[in-house]
């Protein structure tokens, strides 16, 4: 009987330890404790780009969804799937936009390394028809210069693509793209590198072969931010966690703060903060008056449930749009595609919690 009692107590203690451990790690237990009710997700899948145009936001997940740029999650203007795609049955893998056109990069299948770009004019009443023929072919990457004003306008926004032979061209609506002469601000000399991203200080566009790239104008200076070596097979863990920064007039980069995990996405949030996606969730980095970024901090606490929402999942994109404090993050679950979702955080809502989009 004594042995049976010992065995019984052992199993009880083991069960308690297991339960406590699960409660700390399992999102469901945490959310029940916090009384967080998640919406049914609308935008799911592999999400790599979100762009504004004419007061609307567009996001791709092989298909394309849109909503009013300042509409809250639970409003009547939630995400709506576009009825038509540039090419029926073919996935849309990237979006870009300028002041009045939406551009979509379409590929034949997931193994393709290049695709075709189609254009559709956007007005305040909605999106028009896609061009019957692509405006660009043999495209490696589609991107824009990230200009976005707090009132939802995109004056000064330019869209670009890089061809398979490493030439950069500016998109011109349904017209002929214009070839550009660009200088890579990252200074990447890798023979396999090509321009993947652009950024603007309000007057000039800058280009980078490093997709993890942000621009912040501060007073009369412009600072660039990036994480080096993310496209290199020989990247080190340290360099992939270090936020580099420099003045536009400088030829050399300095080390800023570091993040807790490898950087996968980066965007400016106003003039004093970087939002940084990583392989293990997202972090914020405060920008000092001299432009130096601080160490990454994982947002947490009563008003930020990021840890319990998407936790340590791989962030593929991070954006700040709409009213002040409105953020969007796309994540993927490396272990299973069912975790590939878009999340939103509305600072003007009552709950101020991350939730499914």
CA distance 306 to 284: 12
For the chain, the farthest-separated pair of C-alpha atoms sits apart, in whole angstroms, at 87
Q: Is 306 helix (H, G, I), strand (E, B) or coil?
A: helix
The pLDDT confidence band at residue 18, using thresholds 50, 70 and 90, is very low
Task: Give whichever of 12-21, 180-189, 191-200, 254-263 has the largest mean pLDDT.
Answer: 254-263
Q: How far is CA 262 from CA 86, 167, 277, in A?
A: 35, 29, 9
What pLDDT is stored for residue 8 in this prediction?
43
- Asked if residues 273 and 225 have their Cβ atoms less than 8 Å apart, the reply is no
Q: Percentage of the chain with pLDDT > 70?
A: 83
Q: Decide which of 112 and 35 is more confident.
A: 112
The SS3 call for residue 223 is strand
Provide DSSP, 232-276: -TT--HHHHHEEEEEETT-SS-EEEEE-SS-EEEEEE-TTSEEEE
Specify the residue for token string 């996405």: 265
Residue 314 and residue 264 in contact, taking contact as beta carbons nearer than 8 Å: yes
What is the structure's pLDDT at 137?
Answer: 98
- Distance, in Å, from the CA atom of 136 to the CA atom of 1, rounded to the nearest integer, reads 80
Kindly tell me the number of DSSP H helices and DSSP E strands found in the chain: 4, 25
pTM for the model stands at: 0.87
CB–CB of 104/82 below 8 Å? no
Q: Where are the alpha helices (DSSP H) in the chain?
A: 2-25, 27-34, 237-241, 306-309
- In the block, which residue shows the tokens 């999340």? 343
- Using alpha carbons, list the distances in angstroms from residue 330 to 161, 192, 230, 290: 22, 27, 19, 31
Cα–Cα nearest to 144, from 114, 84, 101, 189: 101
Nearest to 353 by CA among 333, 330, 327: 327
Q: What is the mean pLDDT of the chain?
A: 85
Distance from chain centroid for Cα 38: 21
Indicate the range of 6-20, 281-295, 311-325, 343-357 predicted with least confidence: 6-20
Measured CA to CA, the distance from residue 333 to residue 18 in angstroms comes to: 24
**Are residues 306 and 281 in contact, defined by beta-carbon separation less than 8 angstroms?**
yes
Can you give the pLDDT at residue 188? 67
Higher pLDDT, 324 or 18: 324
Of the chain, the end-to-end C-alpha distance in Å amounts to 57
Place of tokens 């991107």: 143
**pLDDT at 38 exceeding the cut of 50:** yes
At residue 302, the pLDDT reads: 66
Are 130 and 84 a contacting pair, CB within 8 Å? Answer: yes
**278: number of CA atoms within 13 Å, CB side?**
27
- How many angstroms separate the CA atoms of 290 and 64, rounded? 40
Q: Mean pLDDT over residues 30-50, rounded?
A: 77
Q: Is 318 a residue whose pLDDT tops 80?
A: yes
Burial of 180 by CB count in 10 Å (0-12 exposed, 13-18 middle, 19+ buried)? middle
Judge whether residue 263 has pLDDT over 50: yes
């Amino acid at each position: 009987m004594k042995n049976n009692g010992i065995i019984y107590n052992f199993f009880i203690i083991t069960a308690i330890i297991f339960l406590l451990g699960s409660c700390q790690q399992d999102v469901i237990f945490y959310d029940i404790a916090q009384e967080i009710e998640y919406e049914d997700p609308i935008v799911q899948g592999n999400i790599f780009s979100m762009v504004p145009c004419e007061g609307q936001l567009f996001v791709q997940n092989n298909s394309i969804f849109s909503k009013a740029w300042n509409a809250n999650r639970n409003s009547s203007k939630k995400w709506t799937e576009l009825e038509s795609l540039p090419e029926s049955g073919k996935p849309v893998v990237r979006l870009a936009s300028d002041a009045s056109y939406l551009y979509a990069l379409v590929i034949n299948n997931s193994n393709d390394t290049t695709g075709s770009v189609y254009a559709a004019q956007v007005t305040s009443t909605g999106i028009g028809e896609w061009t019957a023929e692509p405006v660009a072919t043999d495209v490696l990457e589609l991107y824009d210069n990230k200009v976005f004003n707090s009132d939802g306008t995109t004056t000064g926004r330019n869209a670009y693509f890089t061809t398979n032979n490493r030439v950069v061209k500016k998109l011109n609506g349904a017209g002929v793209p214009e070839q550009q002469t660009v200088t890579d601000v990252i200074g990447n000399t890798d023979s396999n590198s090509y321009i993947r991203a652009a950024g603007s200080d309000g007057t000039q566009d800058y280009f980078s072969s490093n997709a993890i790239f942000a621009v912040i104008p501060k007073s009369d200076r412009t600072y660039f931010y990036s994480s080096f070596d993310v496209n290199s097979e020989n990247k080190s863990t340290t360099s992939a966690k270090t936020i580099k920064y420099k003045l536009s007039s400088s030829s050399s980069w300095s080390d800023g703060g570091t993040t807790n995990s490898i950087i996968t996405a980066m965007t400016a949030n106003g003039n004093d903060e970087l939002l940084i996606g990583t392989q293990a969730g997202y972090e914020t980095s405060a920008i000092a008056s001299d432009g130096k970024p601080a160490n990454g901090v994982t947002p947490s606490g009563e008003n930020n449930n990021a840890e319990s929402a998407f936790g340590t999942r791989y962030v593929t994109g991070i954006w700040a749009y709409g009213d002040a404090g409105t953020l969007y993050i796309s994540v993927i679950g490396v272990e299973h595609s069912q975790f590939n979702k878009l999340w939103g955080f509305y600072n003007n809502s009552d709950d101020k919690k991350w939730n499914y989009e």
